[in-house]
A = this chain, B = another copy of it.
Amino acid sequence: MIGIVLTGHGSFPSGMMESVELITGKVKQIEVVPFEEDKDKLESEINQAIENVNTDSGVVCFADLAGGTPFNVCSTIAATRDNIRVVGGTNSPMLLSGMFQRELVIDKFVESVLKEGKDNIKQFEMKQKQASSEEDGI
């Protein structure tokens, strides 16, 4: 099973985690690493978190912002190790869909969660076309 590290500024990862578990129930093999101020501490904690959740299937680090410190620290680690991947711009649909695909090959997993994350950014739209065509029929 793919291990997951969820990281980001402040309460982002803990809030996201609690929210996801309200929907899915308790999630296994996942670690939450908040970034407050200390980059060295963050690096040490992310390394430890990766160790904690890593099995043969690898680890995906979900960060709040591509280019932010948590994303960059994960990327520095991923650059020198096999089977570590890093995604940024994490939202709930990405994480939720990922929870049910953790037996995939890691690159297929990443491809899928990126797509789910993007496809599920949407706005509420009233079915105005339908409404107007119904009016036409009256």
> Hey, which bits of chain A sit against chain B, CB under 8 A?
8-16, 18-23, 64-66, 68, 71, 74-75, 78-79, 85-94, 96, 110, 114, 117-118, 120-124, 126
Contacts and interface: CB of A to CB of B under 8 A. Distances in A.
B92 A121 contact: no
Contact of A93 (B10, B22, B89): B89
A88 to B, nearest CB: 6
Contacts of A8: 19, 92
Copies in the complex: 2
Given A9-B22, A18-B11, A123 B94 contact: no
A19 B14 CA distance: 10
A74 B19 contact: no
A110 B93 CA distance: 19
29 contacts: A8-B92, A9-B19, A9-B22, A9-B23, A9-B92, A10-B19, A10-B21, A11-B15, A11-B18, A12-B16, A12-B19, A15-B18, A15-B19, A66-B120, A66-B122, A75-B124, A78-B124, A79-B124, A85-B123, A87-B121, A88-B121, A89-B91, A89-B92, A89-B93, A90-B92, A91-B91, A114-B121, A118-B118, A118-B121
